[in-house]
């Protein structure tokens, strides 16, 4: 039976099912592939999925009501990360005071754009139909 520890760990670690499984269960003797497949099976369980969605909804509610962090605020922060990461000059605060050198950071730009895409739904997986044609040849 799945543990609530798995769902909480999954929600708090950014959605890494294998890490969530390791933190919720004794997986020291398990191979990484076994942990991955077991954690993946757990995520296919409707009860687990429902609890994950419930935890995520509660976290979003807390962030928006108690911390006043809205979807739009997160988008502004990510946009700021992108803009600052693209700078090749000294960064300045909102009053124009120098904050030290701020070098171009491609990794931060890519991560921020990726997060924005996820927030906008542009990262959603899509089904792709693939067919094979021709004769199968044995590998040499």
The whole-model pTM stands at 0.50
CA nearest neighbour of 59 among 13, 23, 19, 21: 13
First to last CA, the chain: 47
Bridge partner list, 92: 98
Q: What is the pLDDT of residues 7-37, one digit of tens each?
A: 988 888 878 889 999 999 988 999 999 999 9
Q: What is the pLDDT of residues 91-131, one digit of tens each?
A: 677 787 877 666 566 777 777 777 767 766 655 555 545 55
CA nearest neighbour of 113 among 76, 78, 74: 78
């Amino acid at each position: 039976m799945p543990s609530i520890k798995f769902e909480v760990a999954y929600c708090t670690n950014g959605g890494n099912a294998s890490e969530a499984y390791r933190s919720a269960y004794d997986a020291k003797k398990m191979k990484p592939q076994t942990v991955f497949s077991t954690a993946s099976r757990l995520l296919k369980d409707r009860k687990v999925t429902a609890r994950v969605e419930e935890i995520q909804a509660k976290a979003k509610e807390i962030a928006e009501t108690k911390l006043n962090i809205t979807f739009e605020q997160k988008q502004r922060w990510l946009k700021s990360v992108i803009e600052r990461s693209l700078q090749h000059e000294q960064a300045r605060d909102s009053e124009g005071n120098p904050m030290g050198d701020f070098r171009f950071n491609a990794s931060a730009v890519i991560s921020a754009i990726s997060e924005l895409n996820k927030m906008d739904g542009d990262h959603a997986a899509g089904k792709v139909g693939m067919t094979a044609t021709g004769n199968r040849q044995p590998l040499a």
